[in-house]
């Protein structure tokens, strides 16, 4: 399961702490009042730094319909989605889904993006804190003519801190954190997509196997009819044209069977590519339950589209991308303002020369460096404009993702409703065509029906039986599509509740 909490919070240093640090530093060196004043002024300015809103900026909002414009399924609950695959009662499909998720390059890339975003978040958060470096040095030599050779040793600590007066650092940390949350949600979305793709391919394969069984039965029936007709023609009971028609019908049945077998073979290879299973072992496993389509448990759909959108990891990721782009825009604007940095060091030095040793402690606070951008040829302004353009692009992507999510759910709902409405009539038609063919076959054998009537009844029967299989496949695939459209059991709490799943 995905890791979602191993991040460093981008918590700013409090204003009280900043002022306390400034007072402590200034009290250590009262002979430099200008330094203490500059630090205190910088701390007060830092209290006015802009902060990133926790909500999506209003400009990124997109209208969402108050209700669905498609019939909702009657069964199931949203809570069932987290364990929905297990309710198929098809262990092989479950195992193939797990295998597909383990070897998916999409998931591997998503995991790598999480690691990259996590490192960037740590880097940006650390940039808000002071840096501390240690140095050690040693030298030996003669400092002046006529003096003995001496050895000097020194060790010091150097402190540097760039004060985030105008919020550029805080905005960068917020952007990195939003990117991290987006990458985690993207991993969940990839995981759901892989599961849905494997399951859909598996269902198509099982439906194809059922169609093969139907095609084999039909081809055998056509071949028998061709043999009987040839005997009748040779005996003079049927015209020669009947033998030609029966032979053509038998050949047509063989062609249809070969086409179905080719289609199934391609689906097996597609499933093999998705799961990286040994093909021979996969074919053996698929040999059990040939032509049996899984029967999924029904899902409930929230009456309000907004509730469904809250369950989609891709929507969450797009929203976090908007927040990141907004923070990066704030960062670019803040970089047009002055930058203030503080440095300091403390160390100890020891000198041994001519049998005499001397040592002591040295320290300094400062300088306080203020960097004021005066002229850069418009670089900072262009950077701010580019960041703003990226924010606007992110809002467009977010709005489009909302519309796509609504469309995905609507399509799945309409397909399910259509399958439900057609189900009874498809079965009635298939049963009727089977009875009609049985009657036509009996009449043909009795000599009261022509071969044309028999073949016409056969085509209707095969089409009816094929429609039943296709309807079942369509219905199961629509449930899988609905599962995918509803977010696959994901919730925003999952971004913060699980730890190190993607890395594991």
**pLDDT tens digits, one per residue of 172-205:** 999 999 999 999 999 999 999 999 999 999 999 9
Q: What is the CATH number of the domain that holds 181?
A: 1.20.1600.10
Residue 463 has a pLDDT of 92
In a domain, 100, yes or no: yes
Residue 114, pLDDT > 90, answer yes
* 76 phi and psi angles, rounded to 5 deg: 85, 165
Residue with tokens 């954190």: 177
Q: Please, are residues 466 and 75 in contact by the beta-carbon 8 Å criterion?
A: no
Q: Are residues 248 and 377 in the same domain?
A: yes
- For range 31-35, the mean pLDDT: 38
pLDDT of 266: 97
In a domain, 404, yes or no: yes
CB–CB of 168/321 below 8 Å? no
Task: Kindly state whether residues 256 and 330 are assigned to the same domain.
Answer: yes
Looking at residue 146, its pLDDT comes to 66
Tokens of 391: 């924010």
Residue 501: its pLDDT value, please? 53
- Of 372, 398, 423, the last residue of a domain is 372
The alpha-carbon radius of gyration of the chain (Å, integer) is: 37
Do 25 and 144 share a domain, yes or no? yes
Asked if 363 and 380 sit in the same domain, the reply is no
Residues 271 and 333 in one domain: yes
Mean pLDDT of 270-291: 90
Query: What percentage of residues in the chain have a pLDDT greater than 90?
Result: 47
- Which strands, in side-by-side order, build the sheet including 356-371? 131-141, 150-163, 339-353, 356-371
Answer positive or negative: Cα dihedral of 387, 389, 394, 399: positive
The domain containing residue 22 runs over which residues? 1-48+130-163+338-372
Strands 356-371, 131-141: pairing kind = unpaired
**Cα distances (Å, whole numbers) of residue 420 to 192, 206, 414, 430:** 25, 20, 10, 16
Q: Are residues 155 and 32 in the same domain?
A: yes
Work out how many domains the chain is built from and give that number. 2
Pick from 140-154, 278-292, 331-345, 410-424: least confident: 140-154
* Average pLDDT value over all residues in the chain: 81
pLDDT in tens, 410-461: 898 899 899 989 999 999 999 999 999 999 999 988 888 888 888 889 889 9
The answer to whether the CB of 275 falls within 8 A of the CB of 282 is yes
404 and 394 both lie in a single domain:
yes
Which residue, of 372, 392, 422, is where some domain finishes? 372
Phi, psi of 365 (to 5 degrees): -120, 125
Residue 114 and residue 33 share a domain = no
- C-alpha closest to that of 132 among 99, 156, 110, 159: 159
| 249 lies in the same domain as 150 | no
How large a percentage of the chain has pLDDT more than 70? 78
- Whether 477 and 398 share a structural domain: yes
Q: Are residues 343 and 394 in the same domain?
A: no
- Pair 287, 143 in one domain: no
Q: Which two tokens stand for residue 493?
A: 């709490």
Segment 94-114 mean pLDDT: 93
């Amino acid at each position: 399961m995905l890791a979602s909490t191993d991040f460093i919070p981008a918590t700013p240093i409090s204003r009280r702490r900043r002022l306390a640090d400034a007072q402590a530093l200034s009290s250590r060196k009262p002979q430099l009042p200008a330094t203490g004043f500059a630090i205190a002024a910088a701390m007060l300015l830092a209290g006015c730094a802009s902060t990133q809103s926790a909500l999506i900026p209003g400009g990124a909002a997109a209208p969402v319909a108050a209700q669905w414009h498609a019939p909702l399924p009657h069964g199931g609950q949203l809570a069932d989605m987290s364990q929905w695959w297990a309710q198929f009662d098809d262990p092989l499909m479950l195992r193939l889904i797990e295998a597909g998720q383990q070897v998916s390059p999409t998931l591997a890339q998503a995991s790598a993006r999480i690691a990259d975003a996590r490192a960037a978040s740590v880097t940006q958060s650390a940039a808000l804190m002071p840096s501390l470096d240690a140095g050690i040095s040693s030298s030996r030599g003669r400092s002046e003519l006529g003096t003995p050779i001496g050895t000097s040793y020194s060790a010091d600590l150097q402190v540097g801190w760039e004060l985030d007066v105008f919020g550029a650092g805080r905005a960068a940390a917020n952007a990195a954190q939003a990117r991290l949350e987006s990458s985690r949600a993207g991993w969940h979305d990839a995981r759901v997509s892989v599961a849905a793709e494997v399951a859909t391919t598996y269902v198509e394969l099982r439906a194809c196997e059922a169609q093969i069984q139907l095609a084999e039965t039909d081809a055998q029936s056509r071949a028998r009819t061709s043999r009987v007709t040839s005997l009748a023609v040779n005996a003079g009971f049927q015209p020669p044209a009947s033998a030609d028609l029966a032979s053509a019908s038998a050949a047509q049945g063989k062609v249809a069977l070969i086409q179905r077998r080719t289609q199934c073979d391609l689906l097996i290879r597609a499933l093999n590519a998705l799961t990286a299973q040994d093909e021979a072992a996969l074919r053996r496993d698929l040999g059990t339950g040939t032509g049996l389509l899984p029967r999924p448990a029904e899902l409930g759909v929230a009456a309000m589209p907004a509730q469904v959108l809250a369950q989609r990891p891709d929507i969450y990721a797009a929203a976090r991308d908007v927040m990141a782009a907004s923070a990066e825009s704030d960062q670019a604007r803040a970089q047009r303002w002055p930058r203030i940095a503080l440095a300091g060091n403390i160390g100890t030095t020891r000198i041994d020369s001519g049998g005499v040793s001397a040592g002591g402690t040295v320290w300094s606070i400062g300088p306080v460096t203020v960097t004021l951008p005066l002229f850069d040829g418009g670089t900072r302004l262009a950077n701010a404009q580019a960041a703003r353009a990226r924010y606007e692009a992110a809002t467009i992507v977010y709005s489009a993702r909302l519309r796509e999510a609504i469309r995905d759910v609507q399509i799945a709902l309409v397909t399910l409703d259509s399958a439900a409405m057609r189900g009874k009539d498809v079965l009635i038609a298939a049963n009727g065509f089977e009875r009609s063919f049985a009657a036509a076959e009996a009449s043909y054998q009795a000599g009261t029906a022509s071969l044309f009537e028999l073949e016409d009844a056969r085509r209707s029967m095969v089409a009816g039986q094929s429609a039943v299989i296709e309807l079942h496949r369509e219905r199961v695939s629509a449930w899988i599509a609905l599962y995918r459209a509803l977010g696959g059991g994901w919730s925003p709490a999952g971004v913060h509740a699980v730890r190190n799943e993607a890395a594991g």
